[in-house]
Chain A
Amino acid sequence: MPSFLHSLASPARFQRIANAIMPWAVLLTVGLIGTGVVWGLAFSPPDYQQGDTVRVMYIHVPAAWMAMACYAVMALLSASFLIWKHQLADLAARACAPIGACFTAVALITGSLWGKPTWGTWWVWDARLTSVLILFFLYLGYMALAAAFDDRERGGRAAAILACVGAINLPIIKYSVEWWNTLHQGASVFRMDGPTIDNAMLWPLVLTGIGFNALFVVLLLVRIKSELLARRIEVLQRARAAGRS
């Protein structure tokens, strides 16, 4: 493993780095999401076709970005756990899963609410919606598998393999709107030729987008800390049980 990653992977160093990052991440989360949401709800213009329903975008789109980004992080951590067998990678991947599942649920539910007035239906089995639903089930499957074995290591390995195989779903989600004829619209921000969305709507979206990233960092750090404590508790309890017998 590269020495930089190795040094990061020590729990003590992780705690130090996490404690240094945390206040900034909290500040960015509150400031950017707060500003972006107020801007998006009150000051950005209604869409010329969709009217005020377009305001769902300022949370739906960042949630969908994070649903995918979180999976990418989880898959990379899982791969490094499989390759280098470092416990902190497994622990961090486990911390990612519920966060990703929640972002995916937000993307699906807000999308459904947005779909009703825009498409006339809550749900359609088109490529984008179906592939994101599969993403949601991948997160659930990962969590179930990671907790399914008495031997933590075996559960972690099985779940990590699922996370790596499931990563094939990410490009499918991204390009689903190009490869298939979907009801879901195509990309309008991350495009080769630049964003096609007006600045009055792009700005609040960028703010909530970065804010959601910061929220992800906050949630991840809290959950990794918590997982580290759980391991320590397990070790102490086992030592005590061994001392008794």
Chain B
Amino acid sequence: MDGVNSFLDMGGYAATVWPAYGVTLAILGGLLVVSLRSLSRRKAELAILESQRERPRR
């Protein structure tokens, strides 16, 4: 347990190290999630448009 605590304590600089890694994960992970979501949303939208095009309305 002591090893874990001293690791989390980061030599007294926990307030510097952990937020830095957290912010990085939040920003870059967030960008990846947003980008993937917009990709799948557009894929779905395009599928609908193309299926409509194949069956032209009379």
**Residues of A bordering B, CB below 8 Å:** 37, 41-42, 46, 51-53, 55-56, 59-60, 63, 98-99, 102-103, 105-106, 109-110, 113-114, 116-117, 215, 218-219, 222-223, 225-226, 229-230, 232-233, 236-237, 239-240
A222 touches B45 (CB 8 A): no
Q: Which residues of the partner chain A approach B53 to less than 8 Å between Cβ atoms?
A: 236, 239-240
What's the tally of chain B residues with a CB closer than 8 Å to chain A?
28
B42 touches A219 (CB 8 A): no
B19 to chain A, nearest CB (A): 6
Whether A219 contacts B13 in the complex (CB less than 8 A), given A63-B24, A105-B27, A236-B49, comes out as no
List 13 A–B pairs whose Cβ atoms lie within 8 Å, in order of A's numbering: A41-B17, A46-B11, A52-B17, A53-B17, A59-B20, A102-B28, A110-B24, A113-B20, A218-B32, A226-B39, A229-B42, A236-B50, A240-B52
B20 touches A56 (CB 8 A): yes
Q: Which residues of the partner chain B approach A233 to less than 8 Å between Cβ atoms?
A: 42, 45-46, 49
Q: Which residues of the partner chain B approach A99 to less than 8 Å between Cβ atoms?
A: 31
Most buried by A among B17, B39, B42, B53: B17
| The residue from A53, A105, A106, A222 contacting B13, defined by CB atoms under 8 A apart | A53
Annotate B19-58 by CB proximity to A: 1 below 8 A, 0 otherwise.
1110110011001100110110011011001101100000
A65 to chain B, nearest CB (A): 14
Q: Which residues of the partner chain A approach B31 to less than 8 Å between Cβ atoms?
A: 98-99, 102, 219
A60 touches B13 (CB 8 A): no
**Residues of B bordering A, CB below 8 Å:** 7, 10-13, 16-17, 19-21, 23-24, 27-28, 31-32, 35-36, 38-39, 42-43, 45-46, 49-50, 52-53
B11 to chain A, nearest CB (A): 4
B16 touches A113 (CB 8 A): yes
A61 to chain B, nearest CB (A): 12
* Dominant SS among interface residues on chain A: helix
Q: Which residues of the partner chain B approach A98 to less than 8 Å between Cβ atoms?
A: 31
In the complex formed, the residue of B with least CB distance to A99 is: B31
Q: Which residues of the partner chain A approach B24 to less than 8 Å between Cβ atoms?
A: 59, 63, 106, 110
B20 touches A110 (CB 8 A): yes
B43 to chain A, nearest CB (A): 6
| The residue from B10, B11, B21 contacting A59, defined by CB atoms under 8 A apart | B21
CA of A27 to CA of B27 in the docked complex: distance in angstroms? 20
Q: List 15 extra interface pairs beyond A53-B17, A59-B24, CB under 8 A.
A: A46-B11, A51-B13, A52-B11, A60-B20, A63-B24, A102-B28, A106-B27, A114-B16, A117-B13, A219-B31, A222-B39, A226-B38, A226-B42, A229-B46, A233-B49
CA of A174 to CA of B10 in the docked complex: distance in angstroms? 30
CA of A44 to CA of B47 in the docked complex: distance in angstroms? 50
CA of A114 to CA of B38 in the docked complex: distance in angstroms? 34
